[in-house]
Amino acid sequence: MKKINLGFIAAGARNRVHARNLLRQFGDKVNFSAVCDINEKAILEFKEEFGLENIPVYTDYRELLKEQKDIDGLFIAPPNHLHEEIAVPALQHGIPILLEKPLAHTTESCMNIARAYDRSSSRVTMGLVLRYTPFYRTIFNILKDGKIGRIKVLNANEVVGPVLSSVFFRTWRGKEEYTGGLLLEKCCHDLDLINEMLGVNPHRVAAFASGNNFIPRQGCGPRCRECAVKKTCTFSTVLWEKNIECGEDNNEYEYVDFKNDMCVYNDKHNIMDRQSQLIEYEGGSLVYFNVTLGGTDTRRTVDITGTEGRIVGDFKENRIFLYRAFKENPEEMKIEHEKSGHGGGDSVLIRSFIDGIENPNYVPEASFKDGLKSALLAFICDQARDEGKILPVSFLEGIDSIRD
């Protein structure tokens, strides 16, 4: 049987997670046929980890796209500001693509990719991995079954723990010009999930943010290993090395490079460390969503009040409670998931992508348009924050004509 040939553009943390999940589930079915990264070390580590001594390697994605005609599926996961540059020519090849979230770092880039997508025959699976988790699928099903009626108010909260937060201050993620902002980079997942839960379009938004915690501090830095407070600071990699276990299934740690111990306060970055948005959806449903970097642990929670009941969920604990009026005890749904990152979503996303390569009628659960809508919603929230205004969500008319 012919193997499925897969190419990787970027050999960083995310594509390595995909490669691990591919080998774990489809080791006898897939062939890693090319990898591209501008960083030779990243390529070397990729080759070593996956035993790919003879894999063709590229430092320019254009060469990979030109030479590798037999690729059946492509993984694109460079930093956000490069998504447009790489995705637009890749789409011309018409092959299935797993494009990491967010779609791109600006509205203009998103729309350029959207036009290229519309002209192409590629099926795009967005890396909106939380859609593939048993946790969020359970919430979608409760809502679809009408168990809590129409949503009146949805409160969602994302707190990012010290390890994952530090990635925002020690890598390209600390710069708005590379990420497109905290809300886009960290929470396009949440905005996408909220869009799906509501099932109607967002109508108006207001937002507030601050970045006044991770600012220069005297008496610490520039690197943990030589810092005066290395034994007490929450963000000290010296402390972490002793105290945390870096397990493959704990996605919080997959991004940690212990050698990168820049001071989270004193290193240069311009990203917000918290943001709150109020979003009014069509029909009057109200959403209040918060994100905070620098919390005690990484956790997403959701609390949805409907006309007939209430759902309270904690993604970290994998627990969902369904409340009804006059019933003393809520119904508890304890969710089991596979051992893979993002609450089991990483392995399901990969299965789904491979299914899509084998089945031409496949429709991705995290579609291109889902990626587009969640990114554009993040940009409007950021604009409302910057202008201090309540803004109408006006992008939706422009994207209706784009193919599914």
Ligand X SMILES: NC(=O)c1ccc[n+]([C@@H]2O[C@H](COP(=O)([O-])OP(=O)(O)OC[C@H]3O[C@@H](n4cnc5c(N)ncnc54)[C@H](O)[C@@H]3O)[C@@H](O)[C@H]2O)c1
Residues that bind ligand X in the complex, under the rule CB under 6 A: 9-14, 36-39, 42, 61, 77-80, 82, 100-101, 127, 129, 171, 185, 255, 342
- Minimum CB–partner distance for residue 39 and ligand X (Å): 4
CB 25 within 8 A of CB 351: yes
Nearer to ligand X, 333 or 346 (CB): 346
Nearer to ligand X, 80 or 236 (CB): 80
Closest residue by Cα to residue 267 from 180, 175, 387 = 175
Nearer to ligand X, 197 or 350 (CB): 350
CB 267 within 8 A of CB 112: no
- Minimum CB–partner distance for residue 45 and ligand X (Å): 9
- Minimum CB–partner distance for residue 133 and ligand X (Å): 11
Closest residue by Cα to residue 221 from 236, 211, 242, 241 = 236
Residue 11, SS3? coil
CB 10 within 8 A of CB 46: no
Closest residue by Cα to residue 188 from 341, 372, 13, 17 = 372
Which helix or strand (DSSP H or E) is residue 204 part of? strand 202-210
Residue of minimal CB distance from ligand X?
A: 12
Nearer to ligand X, 306 or 344 (CB): 344
Lateral strand order in the sheet of 73-76: 57-58, 30-36, 4-9, 73-76, 97-99, 124-126
User: What stretches of 70-189 adopt beta strand conformation (E)?
Assistant: 73-76, 97-99, 124-126, 151-160
> What's the length of the chain?
404
- Minimum CB–partner distance for residue 186 and ligand X (Å): 9
Nearer to ligand X, 12 or 134 (CB): 12
Largest CA-CA distance found in the chain, in angstroms, rounded: 66
Nearer to ligand X, 181 or 313 (CB): 181
- Minimum CB–partner distance for residue 205 and ligand X (Å): 22
Nearer to ligand X, 99 or 220 (CB): 99
- Minimum CB–partner distance for residue 339 and ligand X (Å): 17
- Minimum CB–partner distance for residue 40 and ligand X (Å): 9
- Evaluate the CA torsion angle 23, 24, 26, 27 in order and state its sign: positive
